[in-house]
Amino acid sequence: MWETIVETFEIPEEARPFIEVYLTDTDVKAIELMGAGSYLPEDLFRLLKPIVEDPQAYTQDAYSRGIFNKTAELGEIGYKVGTFAKCITYLAQYDPEAWKKIPAEVREKIDVWYVNKYAEEAKPRLEESLRNPSKLIENAFFYTLEETLALIDRQEQEEFCVFPCNCKALALKCEGRKPSNVCLGFHYKSINSDYDRGHGKLITKEEAKALVRMANKNGLMQTTETEWGICNCCGCCCYPIRSSQQIGAKGLWPKKIYDIVWDEEACIRCGKCARICNFGAFTQDAEKRISFDREKCWGCTICMNNCPKGAISIVKAQ
């Protein structure tokens, strides 16, 4: 049975000793019963009836925790077993105390596993995106604050879904130092979305713009592929950015649209750029001298909006 659970749920070696943290006994039995199959709701309820008193309620709970995913492969919406990768992000996002029951050194190993998995799976999507610009990879572009606000304004909908950043919840590399409830979803009602699973909070268009301004002010970068939503994340946690670093895609993913121009004469050496930069491109020494290393810059542009003297501007990247 154990081998079946590990294979079906795709549990990495690092996480196997702590299965009781993210799977209940009922979850284990359900995964074993379902295997690799897909089930229409009534068929699934009949299958689960011997192990749970209320199969419908359990199915919704398992779906909310990422134990089950929804699927349309049967011609209508049904269910199939999810994956550890999805389950563990929901655990970290929505039950952080349970996530922290796993020792820190093991969480770090799971984080590394997640980055490696994300990078490997992203390679073909990035290659396809570069060949065919109409098929954008997630987090395809860095956007300026102004572009991000304009993108929100262009949306026909008046409500958006905000939910905790899965990258920041799982990695915890800047916990307590940067805001984390900052992911913004546009098509939040789609199957397998946080909102469809019962998570997240609906906010207005003006609240969405206020959220982005707050995130930018606190050192979070705006990335988007324009269709599904806006990621407000950091260089230390963001899985797309860390995966991009790993596969050598800096400048391509997220796409660098602008180059940073630093006016050294206008700079008052306040150090805000050095504190807010996610990549160490701006630094300040003990004598408060500012340095800018263009090679380290990813072109996220948050330094421009946060410079109090306008000493940082942007030009279109070549």
The 10s digit of each residue's pLDDT in 117-155 is 999 999 999 999 999 988 999 999 999 999 999 999 999
pLDDT at 1: 72
Quick check: 198 pLDDT over 80?
Answer: yes
- Final residue of a domain: which of 203, 228, 247? 247
What's the rounded Cα separation, in Å, for the pair 211 and 22? 31
298 and 207 in a single domain? The answer is no
pTM over 0.85? The answer is yes
Q: Using an 8 Å Cβ cutoff, are 114 and 78 in contact?
A: no
Band (pLDDT 50/70/90 cuts) for residue 187 is confident
In terms of residue numbers, what domain contains 197?
A: 132-247
In a domain, 108, yes or no: no
In a domain, 125, yes or no: no
Q: CA-based angle 128:133:135, to the nearest 5?
A: 60
48 and 144 in a single domain? The answer is no
In a domain, 53, yes or no: yes
In a domain, 122, yes or no: no
Q: Could you read off the pLDDT of 279-314 as tens digits, one per residue?
A: 999 999 999 999 999 999 999 999 999 999 999 999
In a domain, 124, yes or no: no
For residue 271, how far is the Cα from the chain centroid? 29
In a domain, 116, yes or no: no
304 and 200 in a single domain? The answer is no
Number of domains the chain is built from: 3
Q: pLDDT averaged over the chain? A: 97
- Runs of H (alpha helix) within 36-95: 41-48, 55-64, 84-94
pLDDT at 134: 87
pLDDT at 211: 99
What's the rounded Cα separation, in Å, for the pair 128 and 140? 12
Q: Classify 38 as helix, strand or coil.
A: strand
229 and 264 in a single domain? The answer is no
203 and 284 in a single domain? The answer is no
What's the rounded Cα separation, in Å, for the pair 43 and 265? 71
158 and 243 in a single domain? The answer is yes
80 and 168 in a single domain? The answer is no
204 and 285 in a single domain? The answer is no
Q: Could you read off the pLDDT of 64-75 as tens digits, one per residue?
A: 999 999 999 999
pLDDT at 133: 87
Quick check: 226 pLDDT over 90?
Answer: no
In a domain, 277, yes or no: yes
Q: Could you read off the pLDDT of 66-121 as tens digits, one per residue?
A: 999 999 999 999 999 999 999 999 999 999 999 999 999 999 999 999 999 999 99
The whole-number average pLDDT for the span 2-14 is: 94
- Final residue of a domain: which of 102, 120, 142? 102
CATH of the domain at 39: 1.10.10
Band (pLDDT 50/70/90 cuts) for residue 227 is confident
Closest CA to 5 of 33, 31, 26: 31
CATH of the domain at 303: 3.30.70.20
The whole-number average pLDDT for the span 159-170 is: 98
Amino acid type, 122: A
Q: Could you read off the pLDDT of 245-260 as tens digits, one per residue?
A: 999 999 999 999 999 9
In a domain, 252, yes or no: no
Amino acid type, 182: V
300 and 231 in a single domain? The answer is no
pLDDT at 45: 99
262 and 281 in a single domain? The answer is yes
Tokens for 110, please give them: 């799971």
What's the rounded Cα separation, in Å, for the pair 248 and 241? 10
Band (pLDDT 50/70/90 cuts) for residue 271 is very high
206 and 144 in a single domain? The answer is yes
